[in-house]
């Protein structure tokens, strides 16, 4: 036998070989332990991330730098409707559209001739659009041919109890009428009526009506173009406020609670009801849908105060009506 072989001791190797299964088992156990450990650590990291993100977003939102939540849209676009015969209102509609698009708002210019209120007006209840109506008055206070159907439909709807006082609730609108004060009794009649009928159907007047006057002597700003420019400036600034989410024309500066109470009382009146009858009477007397002028530019709330009936006023109106009946 080789003496060098005697020097090697194979006993440890042999025992390793015999116990190899235990060794494998040990390795396998160790590996699975490490795997479990890794999984637990990853899960913990994920949880802590989930918890910290909303907190971060909250912090960021309160700091006002960034909003991770979806921004609320207050005005989705502007629709400019016009009723024109010789093109003045149409031209104004184009100018207004340019001013609106400079605010990065979608704008549509619509000829009332191509618009069926019966099918589409109610869509504006939920559209978040602001609707501007530029309408001219013609002989005997009649609308242009193009706006004839629109006006007839609106008048009938406003006086039809089936539509009710909230039919157009949610529609936001502003009216600019074109006329000539030389036609004294019919001056701007269509603008006044459209404003009134929309209001009677529950639409929300975002600003008081504008009156364009062709009579340069009597025109408030010297010409119908200047009247329109003044109204347009007010409309744009009102639009900007609406885009920011301001709801009240007064921007919250009016006397506490006044806005709400007026809005409420205006909504509480139903066309055809006694209150509405009283309202019509007042309409004839005081012109509650009164026009607009420079003086109103800073006092929208005042206009809206004027243009709706307070509950107190209602009592007086009813009294007056009773007296008139007796007489």
Ligand X SMILES: Cc1cc2nc3c(=O)[nH]c(=O)nc-3n(C[C@H](O)[C@H](O)[C@H](O)COP(=O)(O)O)c2cc1C
Residue 137 interacts with ligand X (CB under 6 A)?
yes
Report CA-CA distances (Å) from 238 to 77, 207, 235: 14, 7, 5
Q: How far apart are the first and last CA of the chain?
A: 150
The neighbouring-strand residues paired with 137 are 143
Count of CB atoms situated within 10 Å of the CB of 169: 13
179: tokens are 């006329």
Phi, psi (rounded to 5 degrees) for 130: -110, 130
Candidate ranges 40-48, 122-130, 186-194, 276-284; the one touching ligand X (CB under 6 A): 186-194
Q: Which burial class, exposed, middle or buried, applies to 107 when counting CB atoms under 10 A from its CB (0-12, 13-18, 19+)?
A: buried
Q: Which of 81, 187, 197, 289 is in the footprint of ligand X by CB under 6 A? A: 187
Residue 188 interacts with ligand X (CB under 6 A)?
yes
Candidate ranges 13-21, 31-39, 79-87, 253-261; the one touching ligand X (CB under 6 A): 79-87
Residue 136 interacts with ligand X (CB under 6 A)?
yes
**Of residues 149-178, which lie at the interface with ligand X (CB under 6 A)?**
178
Sorted by sequence, the CB contacts under 8 Å of residue 115 that are 6+ apart come out as 81, 150
Q: Which of 172, 186, 234, 238 is in the footprint of ligand X by CB under 6 A? A: 186
Residue 194 interacts with ligand X (CB under 6 A)?
no
Total length of the chain: 327
Nearer to ligand X, 226 or 243 (CB): 226
Q: Which of 44, 86, 101, 273 is in the footprint of ligand X by CB under 6 A? A: 86
Sorted by sequence, the CB contacts under 8 Å of residue 82 that are 6+ apart come out as 89, 90, 92, 93, 109, 110, 111, 112, 133, 134, 135
Nearer to ligand X, 265 or 293 (CB): 293
Candidate ranges 45-53, 58-66, 136-144, 158-166; the one touching ligand X (CB under 6 A): 136-144
Residue 262 interacts with ligand X (CB under 6 A)?
no
Q: Which residues bind ligand X (CB under 6 A)?
A: 84-89, 136-139, 141, 144, 178-180, 183, 186-188, 214, 224
């Amino acid at each position: 036998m080789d003496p060098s072989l005697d020097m090697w001791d194979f006993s440890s190797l042999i025992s390793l070989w015999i116990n190899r299964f235990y060794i494998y088992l040990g390795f396998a156990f160790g590996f699975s332990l490490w795997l479990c450990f890794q999984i637990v650590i990853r899960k913990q990291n994920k949880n802590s991330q989930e918890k910290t993100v909303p907190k971060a977003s909250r912090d960021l939102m309160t700091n006002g730098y960034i909003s991770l939540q979806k921004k609320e849209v207050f005005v989705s676009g502007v629709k400019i409707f016009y009723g024109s015969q010789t093109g003045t209102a149409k031209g104004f509609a184009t100018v207004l559209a340019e001013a609106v698009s400079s605010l990065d708002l979608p704008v549509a210019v619509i000829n009332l001739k191509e618009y069926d209120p019966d099918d589409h007006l109610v869509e504006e209840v939920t559209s978040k659009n602001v609707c501007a109506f530029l309408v001219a008055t013609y002989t005997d206070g009649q609308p242009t041919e193009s706006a004839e159907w629109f006006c007839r439909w609106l008048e009938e709807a406003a006086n039809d109890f089936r539509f009710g006082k909230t039919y157009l609730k949610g529609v936001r609108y502003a009216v600019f009428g074109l006329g000539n004060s030389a036609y004294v009794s019919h001056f701007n009649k269509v603008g006044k009526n459209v404003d009134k009928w929309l209001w009677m159907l529950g639409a929300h007047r975002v600003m008081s009506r504008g009156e364009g006057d062709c009579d340069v002597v009597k025109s408030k700003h010297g010409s119908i173009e200047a009247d329109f420019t003044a109204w347009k400036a007010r409309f744009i600034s009102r639009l900007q406020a609406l885009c920011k989410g301001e709801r009240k024309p007064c921007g919250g500066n009016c006397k506490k609670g006044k806005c709400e109470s007026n809005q409420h009382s205006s909504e509480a009146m139903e066309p055809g009801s006694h209150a509405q009858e009283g309202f019509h009477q007042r309409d004839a007397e005081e012109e509650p849908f009164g026009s607009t002028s420079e003086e109103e530019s800073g006092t929208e709330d005042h206009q809206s105060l004027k243009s709706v009936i307070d509950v107190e006023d209602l009592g007086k109106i009813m009294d007056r009506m009773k007296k008139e009946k007796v007489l």
